[in-house]
Amino acid sequence: MMRKSWIGLLLVVVMVLMAGCGSKTATKDESADKVIKVASHMTPMTDVVEKAGEVIKADGYTIELVQVNDNIQYNELLKK
């Protein structure tokens, strides 16, 4: 009898968890999620980011390169 109670409780928990993973009803624009901003300031790294942007474009993503002059500007961009 106790075993059946545990199985029933487990089934209820699983059903609640599955209901939480329901269908997506978000109304925001899907294309906005496909833009990735990358900050870089050294020439070799900006070249890598541009090359990655070309490769990832096939998957529908766009990389927006933000060039900064020093490492402190990375942190300032994150505060916005």
Q: Which residues contact 36 (CB under 8 A, 6 or more apart)?
A: 56, 61, 62, 63, 64
Whole-prediction pTM: 0.51
Lowest-pLDDT range of 4-8, 35-39, 59-63: 4-8
Q: Where does the pLDDT of residue 61 fall: very low under 50, low under 70, confident under 90, or very high at 90 and above?
A: very high
Q: Return the DSSP state at 21.
A: T
Residue showing tokens 């599955």: 18
pLDDT, tens only, 19-31: 777 666 655 666 5
Q: Alpha-carbon distance 62 to 40, whole Å? A: 16
Structure tokens at 70: 């020093």
What pLDDT is attached to residue 21? 72
> Two tokens at 73?
């500007």
Instruction: State yes or no: pLDDT of 79 exceeds 70.
Output: yes
Kindly report the average pLDDT of the chain as a whole number: 80
24 or 61, higher pLDDT: 61
